Structure 1
Amino acid sequence: MSTENKNRDTAAAILPLVGGAANVTSIAHCMTRLRLTLRDRAKVQDEALKALPAVMGVVEDDTYQIVLGPGTVARVTPEFEQLVEEGRATAHPTSAEDLAKQGTALKAAQKAKNATPFKLFLRRIANIFVPLIPALIGCGIIAGFNGLLVNLGWLPTVTPALAAMASGFMALIAVFVGFNTAKEFGGTPILGGAVAAIIVFPGVANIEAFGQKLSPGQGGVLGALGAAVLATYVEKWCRKWVPEAVDVLVTPTLTVLISGLVTIFGLMFLAGEVSTGIGTAANWLLDNTGAFAGLVLGAFFLPLVMLGLHQALIPIHTTLIEQQGYTVLLPVLAMAGAGQVGCAIAVYLRLKRNTSIRTTIKSALPAGFLGVGEPLIYGVSLPLGRPFITACAGGAAGGAFIGMFSMLGDKVGSTAIGPSGWALFPLLDGNHGLGTTIAIYAGGLLVGYTVGFVATYFFGFSKQMLAELNVAEPSAVAAAPAEEKAPATV
């Protein structure tokens, strides 16, 4: 079977289990999840979805999220979109009652979205930055490989070309952020990109604002985001007041002119100060309170992922990569996944008779080592309760280990966002050589695995849990006592 047929078969298997094409109102995907907005949640067959070989788990948040894993989700999504379009083309409401039901469902979905402005904001942030991650990963790996060649003195005629490939995207990332921001906020994407391009234009070095010369790139992605949002609102304002006869000339001109002037004489300076503050704060935090900061960040990252709040960190990571060439926060946060892996191994050994949970762990553990933690979170630790907390303890220990070395002057960073676990090794960078950086990160993973395992093995189960779960019962997790299912920290 070809890869294309396999992806289409996966999409075809998922569609009827989420209620068919008529039940799907929007489709999107991130690094690992197919995200669907549904008219009627009751039509979804959760257990049947989880049983599909390609599905690692499901998550219900502001959207219904089906975990397929990196790479797979990007291939399945277009097939799923095509099937939904084909289904809509052949599906027609059979009565006025059907139409009324659809209208009621749409209103309810819209009301639910508007009732959670913070989640809507985070989703918009994700929609702006997540499409950039593949380029960040590709360029980051090339940058790491090029750095290795330069340090070894190999292929001196090739390394300048590799440097250009690795740096070209980052030099213009503000333009892509501006384009995606305008698109997300309902403006004309190319106008958002045009205004954001001002930030990286070399000629801004001749302009003075707030008593100092501007520098190309000042304000970075935060400035680009703000400039594009402003451009969107200026454009919408123009659409209301500019006569249609001259709209095509006047609206784009006023949009670029007004938002461009505000960007040059305001946003670039202000966003530059904020960006500098973020970099300074992140470095100060790890340099002065590294072990404690790493402990806190590593401990709470799994709950952030579970709640979808980790999306708020994307602009911070991107700003650090833009400023320093790598983000010092991601390797610390990646330790949460290490704690999860150690936890899963301990659960596997403690529940020797529970074939259902052990099968889930065996299928999800390889993805866990590569940094895809959702199958283990939603399929193992979170439903059990206590193991979720002990997994967080493993993340805290690994984060404290990385943070301790940062306090000693050995920074560990990632040149891109997205991967973690073993998949982060090709993207590692630091201030004391690649060998030292890899050794510290590997040590952090080992600490996270070990503490997550030990904490779960000895403290992850009460006697009652072991008595009820350590049986050859496929529905053992469902039989766990209610008080043990809901982790107290969530």
Structure 2
Amino acid sequence: MTENKNRAVAAAILPLVGGAGNITSIAHCMTRLRLGLRDRTLVQDKQLKALPAVMGVVEDATYQIVLGPGTVARVTPEFEALVEAERTEQERTATPSPLTADELAAHGAAIKAQQKAKNATPFKLFLRKIANIFVPLIPALIGCGIIAGFNGLMVNLGLLPAVTPALAAIATGFMALIAVFVGLNTAKEFGGTPILGGAVAAIIVFPGVANINVFGRPLSPGQGGVLGALGAAVLAVYVEKWCRRWIPQSLDVLLTPTLTVLISGLVTVFGLMFVAGEISTAIGDFAGWLLSTGGAAAGFVLGGLFLPLVMLGLHQALIPIHATLIEQQGFTVLLPILAMAGAGQVGAAAAVYLRLPRNPSIRRTIRSALPAGLLGVGEPLIYGVSLPLGRPFITACVGGAFGGGVVGLLNQFGGSVGSTAIGPSGWALFPLLDGNKGLATMIAVYAAGLITGYVAGFLATYFFGFSKLLCTSLNEVDDDEETEQKPLVSAPVETGRASEESALTR
């Protein structure tokens, strides 16, 4: 039954994005179906957004359809199967096209280039590569993090002492070798051979490096962590490309992998591990210093700025920092603070719902997106509610700031509340909480932050999220139109800088 439902969702989406012939690539992340399109003009945006399963759409390097966690992983294989079946049928019944393949490709490329131009800065493209390296690791981080938390609870309660060592091995095995996976993904993302990137990164976690002295000090297995693995794999890609350019084809199969591993390995052992180790230590020390001295103020700033970072795609720069902190300390103290941005977003959405009693379209959008928002999936509320309206996006940031301040305050008192994995937030983060205080204390602090974010986001939006004119305009719905599906973007928005910037992001 579930399989039929997922296939039905895929079947509803496919014709609205131009059919199989308009699809150049299919992928998915935790919440979004990411499609490469030949011709953007073939997409029927209004009908697509009206589908019950679609929480929103985002345009970036790919056309991204927000389906939510869990759902997207089940719908994507069905979508791929339908695309393949449609292409097979088209090939069987193909008739000459009035356009040549080159003309169609050129038209699609021109449209795609126009859509990507404003976001295709070198810095953002680099951040996207970094995200593509670490995002595939998130499911393992979540699974191992939850098992680690469950195992710690069992150890504290003295339950099943014969089983807890096995659970500890299951939970920590991935983290012990995370550098290898980072190396594989890095080489793949930068255009090299993945296994060579993994081979060079594996040097970092090899126990035998303890016998090597660099700058008068012995190396430690794992020194440099994910940052060292990332640097080593990037170096391996450049060495491999150099070898393939200059080594004769007859010797390529022998010399290229040998020289790639040898040169990159020596540089990693005698340079990168030491440098990356110092950087990793500095990141951990800075995060601890920032929250122990700044506390509430640091939490207020971090919680308040995270939504704009997500909107601009700059939050991807934090992924290696989270991974480094998890590798060093077992948890990242930044994520519970940044998760408060989602709480502010939920509070703001609730206020919008109450302030617009005669706008069924917006209220329907909020009802469908709010459960995902409570679980930390904020895109539907950001792109479907607060950002198009302008001012509610700012008041949602205010809610996140106050929630982050509450969580950050604990650090001034010598406590740390962190997450053993990246990805989840909202209520979904509770099973992943860890730190240097008892579980009850960490749960209480994180819950207090969420409640504060909800309340602050609600109050700021309810009282300051709308001008009188905008509120009146959005509530002017004729009685005979109340059952119609009116798109949110058709509602008038406030003038001013916030609304102008919102329009640019749609």
> Which amino acid is the alignment partner of residue 62 of structure 2?
T
Report what 2:159 is aligned to. Answer: 154
What TM-score comes out, normalization by structure 2 length?
A: 0.93
Deviation string 1:193-235 (CA, Å, 9 cap, x unpaired) is 1100000000000001122110000000011011111111111
CA distance in 1, matches of 2:176, 2:476: 57
Equivalent of 1:102 in 82, 101, 105? 105
Q: Are 2:62 and 1:63 aligned?
A: yes
Q: Which amino acid aligns with 2:102?
A: L
Could you say which residue in structure 2 is the equivalent of 1:314? Answer: 319
Q: Judge which range, 349-358 or 65-74, deviates more.
A: 349-358
Alpha carbons 2:10, 2:78 under 8 Å: kept: yes
Match of 2:440 in 1: 435
Using structure 1 for the length normalisation, give the TM-score. Answer: 0.96
In 2: Cα distance, 1:188 partner to 1:427 partner: 34
Q: Distance in 2 between matches of 1:172 and 1:110?
A: 39
Structure-2 separation of matches of 1:51 and 1:22: 23
* RMSD, aligned CA: 1.9
Deviations 1:436-468 (A, max 9, x none): 111000000010001001111111111101111
Once the two structures are superposed, the pairs formed by residues 98-177 of structure 1 within 5 Å of their partners are 98-106=101-109, 109=112, 112=116, 115-177=120-182
* 1:187 equivalent in structure 2: 192
Cα shift readout 1:341-400 (whole Å, capped 9, x = no counterpart): 111111111111212111111111111111111111111111111111111000000001
* Deviates most, 266-275 or 59-68: 59-68
CA contact (8 A) 2:493 2:499 kept: no
Name the residue aligned to 2:209. Answer: 204
In the TM superposition, residue 115 of structure 1 has moved relative to its aligned partner by 4.5
Match of 2:400 in 1: 395
In the alignment, the residues of structure 2 paired with residue 470 and residue 396 of structure 1 have an alpha-carbon distance, to the nearest angstrom, of 29
The separation in 2 between residues aligned to 1:475 and 1:81, in whole angstroms, is 28
Contact in 2 for aligned 1:220/1:272 (Cα 8 Å) = yes
Do the aligned partners of 1:140 and 1:166 also contact (CA within 8 Å) in 2?
yes
Q: What is the number of residues matched between the two proteins? A: 489
Q: Separation in 2 of the partners of 1:440 and 1:476? A: 36
Q: Which residue of 479, 482, 486 corresponds with 2:491?
A: 479
Which segments of 5 or more consecutive residues in structure 1 lack a partner in the other structure?
A: none
* Matching residue's letter, 1:48: Q
Q: Following superposition of structure 1 onto structure 2, how do residues 59-458 of structure 1 map, counting pairs within 5 Å?
A: 59-89=58-88, 90-91=90-91, 94-95=97-98, 97-106=100-109, 109=112, 112=116, 115-458=120-463
Cα distance change of structure 1 residues 475 and 94 upon mapping to structure 2, 3 Å threshold:
closer
Q: CA deviation at 1:433?
A: 1.1
Give the Å deviation of 1:96: 5.0
Counterparts of 1:63 and 1:304 in 2: how far apart (Å)?
19
Q: Which residue of 2 aligns with 1:30?
A: 29
What is the alpha-carbon distance in structure 2 between the residues aligned to residue 446 and residue 249 of structure 1? 61
Aligned partner letter, 2:273: M
Amino acid at match of 1:243: P
Contact 1:24–1:39 (8 Å) recurs in 2: yes
Q: Which runs of 4+ in 1 moved over 3 A?
A: 85-89, 95-98, 106-115, 471-477, 484-490
| Distance in 2 separating the partners of 1:283 and 1:15 | 48
Give the Cα–Cα distance (whole angstroms) in 2 for the partners of residues 219 and 488 of structure 1. 43
Q: For residues 152-190 of structure 1, what are the alpha-carbon distances to aligned partners after superposition, in whole Å with 9 as ceiling and x for unaligned?
A: 111111110110000000000000000011111111111
Residues 41 and 489 of structure 1: is their aligned pair in 2 closer, same or farther, counting only changes over 3 Å? closer
Query: Shift of residue 405 of structure 1?
Result: 1.0
| Residues in 2 aligned to 1:183 and 1:25: alpha-carbon distance in whole angstroms | 19
Which is further off, 63-72 or 133-142?
Answer: 63-72
> d(CA) in 2 for partners of 1:147 and 1:5?
40
User: Distance in 1 between the 2:113 and 2:489 partners?
Assistant: 34
Please state how far the C-alpha of 1:98 moved relative to its aligned partner.
Answer: 4.3
SS at 1:483 equivalent: coil
Corresponding residue for residue 17 of structure 1:
16
> CA separation in 1, counterparts of 2:457 and 2:494?
23
Structure 2: gaps of 5 or more residues: none
The answer to whether the 8 Å contact 1:62/1:119 transfers is no
Letter in 2 for 1:53: P
Contact 2:419/2:433, CA 8 A, preserved across alignment? yes
CA deviation after TM superposition for structure 1 residue 80, in Å: 2.1
Deviations along 1:96-130, one digit per CA (max 9) or x if unpaired, are 54431213433664684795222221221111111
**Contact 2:300/2:403 (CA < 8 Å) preserved in 1?**
yes
The 1:437–1:488 alpha-carbon spacing in structure 2 relative to 1, beyond 3 Å, is farther
Q: 1:55 to 1:279 in 2, by over 3 A?
A: same
Equivalent position amino acid for 2:206 in 1: F
Deviations 1:234-292 (A, max 9, x none): 11111112222221111111110000000000100011111111111111111111211
Which amino acid in structure 1 is aligned with residue 97 of structure 2?
T
**Distance in 1 (alpha carbons) for counterparts of 2:487 and 2:196:** 54
Tell me, yes or no, if the aligned pair for 1:354 and 1:476 is still in contact at 8 Å.
Answer: no
Give the 3 Å change call, closer, same or farther, for CA 207–83 of structure 1 in structure 2.
same
State how far apart, in whole Å, the 2-side matches of 1:152 and 1:333 are.
Answer: 31
2-side partners of 1:76 and 1:140: how far apart? Answer: 26
Cα distance in structure 2, aligned partners of 1:21 and 1:476: 28
Query: Is the CA contact (8 Å cut-off) linking 1:383 and 1:485 kept in structure 2?
Result: no
Deviations 1:388-418 (A, max 9, x none): 1111000000001111111111111000011
Q: CA deviation at 1:44?
A: 1.1
Say which is worse superposed, 316-325 or 299-308, in terms of deviation.
299-308
Query: Aligned pair in 2 of structure 1 residues 486, 47: CA closer, same or farther (>3 Å)?
Result: farther
Please give the per-residue CA displacement for 1:21-45, whole angstroms capped at 9, x wherever unaligned.
Answer: 2222222221111122222221111
Match in the other structure for 1:40: 39
Cα contact 1:397–1:451 (8 A) shared by 2: yes
After TM superposition, give the deviation of residue 479 of structure 1 in Å. Answer: 2.8
Deviates more, 1:42-51 or 1:20-29: 20-29
